[in-house]
Structure 1
Amino acid sequence: MAEKKDNIILIGMPGAGKSTLGIVIAKMLGYDFVDGDILIQQQSDKTLQKIIDAVGPEGFIAVENEVLCNLDAHKTVISPGGSCVYSDEAMLHLAEIGTIVFLKVSLEELTERLGGLHERGVVMKNGMGMSLADLYEERQPLYEMYAEVTLDIDGMSVRDAANKLIDILSMREAL
């Protein structure tokens, strides 16, 4: 367990910009960057979609939970997968090691950004028939529940979002 909450954890919907914004913030602060989805792929030696196809949504959530619970990082921006909020254990661990920031994006903007979900390795607990709107409705309350900071990034450039988040976290003395 970390001695200090010196990490920034970015949560939000697929397509919210967790990885893109995370890399920019890490560069601006001189932090490391960890992408939870890539960690899962490296440790499993499979793509996210192949893992989901092999073990189903619940099996994937278990794999993701194990990877995130074993994450030990300091001065790192962490972008866990959008489905991390399905695991209380993983979210409690992330809250112990860092400040959880919800990157809030409207359904309309996500629809413009994303296109299809099915090629992205997105966990849909209620099956592949879920629409983006269904997934949004299911996950929004979970993101809000775990967030220590919520940043509405609709219409913001990556640079503006990064600067705003760094300002907010600096005021909270999280950096």
Structure 2
Amino acid sequence: MSSKSSFYVRKRPCIALIGMAGSGKSTLGKLLSQSLSWAHVDTDWLLEAWWGTNLQSIRDHLGLKGFLQAEEKVVLDLRLNRCVISTGGSVVYSAPAMDFLKSLGPIIYLHADLQTILKRVQNVSTRGLAMDKGQTLEDIYLQRKPLYEQYADFVVSTDQNSPQECVQLIEQWLKK
């Protein structure tokens, strides 16, 4: 084990990435975990694996409240060490899930402005987003942004920096 990895394990065992759909959580989770030589877990993928179908089907089957409860359960059941966790964008609606993630290590908010999110997320009706009927992507962006900021230990702009630059910024912050 390298001294870099040992340092992070002693300080805090995991890093959680939060942010809107399209902010880069899955992409940066993979890159950051590779750079740290850590594992990577995507809680959306865990939900899909547990239910055996895609997020939209889970969302349609459970309804919004049930979907949020399932997402919370997946997070609260995590038992991880030395892991980068890419979360579902709606995890911030669950204070118990966010408190649990905070107990595992730092929470990093991957921020992108609304226009960037609107460009990156084209498949709103099939992506499995946790939103009420009649809500728009802009509505949930405005609703969630203060929650992301509230829980964040560090914020990285994914529309102002390349994925590699984001990883470098996160690693620089972790070393402080």
- TM (norm. structure 1) is 0.91
Report whether the alignment pairs 1:48 with 2:55: yes
Supply the RMSD in Å over aligned alpha carbons.
Answer: 1.5
Give the structure 1 partner of residue 170 of structure 2: 165
Report whether the alignment pairs 1:8 with 2:15: yes
Give the structure 2 partner of residue 71 of structure 1: 78
Cα displacement (A) at 1:3: 8.5
Aligned length: 168
Could you list the runs of 4 or more consecutive aligned residues of structure 1 that deviate by over 6 angstroms after TM superposition?
Answer: none
Give the one of 126, 130, 136 matched to 1:131: 136
CA distance in 2, matches of 1:54, 1:119: 13
Deviation per residue, 1:63-85 (Å, 9 max, x gap): 11111001011110000100101
Q: Percent same amino acid at aligned positions?
A: 37
- TM (norm. structure 2) is 0.91
Give the one of 13, 16, 25 matched to 1:18: 25
**Letter paired with 2:88:** G
Give the structure 1 partner of residue 146 of structure 2: 141
Deviation per residue, 1:25-73 (Å, 9 max, x gap): 0001101000000001111222211111111111001111111001011
Task: Specify every segment of 5 or more residues in structure 1 that has no aligned partner in the other structure, as ranges.
Answer: none
Task: Specify every segment of 5 or more residues in structure 2 that has no aligned partner in the other structure, as ranges.
Answer: 1-8
Report whether the alignment pairs 1:102 with 2:125: no
